[in-house]
Structure 1
């Protein structure tokens, strides 16, 4: 769904509650029609990622759907105002739980294993289930979100790319991702 900037302001109650912040911009809590909770990622004017990554994420999430990938509910593309509207993940990101920033609650080993398996299933879908196959290029704890049942979903697809189909001769060698989370290759 496409939303106007005025609708984005209304759903976030004028950007009242911040959920997090990343390279793209600030993520706000929102509500559509007073019932459906959402996360609204608003592009910062100082963002180094900009329109290119916004467009890449919208295009990818419009064509891929999997239980372990965060769902795109809508977007706003109105002048300088760019926003991505996602399903709301009530238990935040994995980093909050690993670092102890969620009230000291420690994840059980069973829950940790479930999260790892969910992430692996999401990656398997991107690598094998998608045609053409996709590579995320920014897997890290802050991009693994948890719902109310601690089901993990991958988020932040702005750096994602399609795998080579074999017939292509060009291979990108540009480094992309977050320092500290890049494969050594």
Structure 2
């Protein structure tokens, strides 16, 4: 369903664009996460860190592969993301938890377990993790073109993603990753923070959904989860979820719709002109 919506919206927008040319028309509070997904299985368990299938790094190893955290790639609610290289020369991204971060061990553990047990070409790949005393970090594949947000605003070196063909492919690949979470996992996983800064692009502009610290699986066959705390990025949050506090797959689809509007218009989620206004409005 998500893929169909992407195709319809972007093809319609492309048609509008062509017609226009012919006419010369001009971070949130966090909840406790208690369940984790393992491929097609979910378990209510503490999942000790040593059971993770990815490589475990020490803090000293992270200092070595990042050259003492020299180059910052970005920053999120968890902390800074640093550029690094493994022993074999593989370039990686290291997300190190800041001591001042509001996101704690539960969010770190949730993301680590989800990414070690689900695999899809349009989800970011986790290479390893670090839990060394007070230091916590996740090590990912390196995505050289950064976030979709950076790409659309033109802050990357190639000046932005202007091709409609590129935008359509990014939309489709992001939709496929999201649809895998909703349809391919058992139980389904709701991302809860779909936005342009959580869609990463590699050198070939292939899209990967990232940042699963707030993700939540459905348990017991229900098609919604009642929550006590609203999480997500305000301009992307589904109004229905905001009103009812009942989380469904539609909540992610709404957020993804905002991303589609960004792809179509090239505008950010909140247009800050004379008066800030949501792109969805």
The TM tier, using the shorter chain, reads over 0.9
Q: 1:167 to 1:88 in 2, by over 3 A?
A: closer
Q: Are 1:23 and 2:58 an aligned pair? A: no
Structure 1 length-normalised TM: 0.95
Q: 1:76 to 1:114 in 2, by over 3 A?
A: same
| Greater helix proportion | 2
Measured after TM superposition, the shift of residue 164 of structure 1 is 3.8
CA offsets 1:4-39 (integer angstroms, 9 cap, x no match): 000000000000110000110000000101411100
Distance in structure 2 (CA, Å) of the matches to 1:53 and 1:21: 16
Q: 1:14 to 1:161 in 2, by over 3 A?
A: same
Distance in structure 2 (CA, Å) of the matches to 1:101 and 1:157: 25
Structure 2 length-normalised TM: 0.63
Structure number, greater radius of gyration: 2
Distance in structure 2 (CA, Å) of the matches to 1:110 and 1:173: 41
SS at match of 1:75: strand
Distance in structure 1 (CA, Å) of the matches to 2:218 and 2:225: 11
Q: Are 1:52 and 2:106 an aligned pair? A: yes
Structure 2 partner of 1:81: 135
How do 1:80-159 and structure 2 match up within 5 A?
80-103=134-157, 104-159=159-214
CA offsets 1:94-147 (integer angstroms, 9 cap, x no match): 011111111324431000000000010000100000111100000111100001
Distance in structure 1 (CA, Å) of the matches to 2:130 and 2:225: 33
- Coordinate RMSD, CA, aligned: 1.6
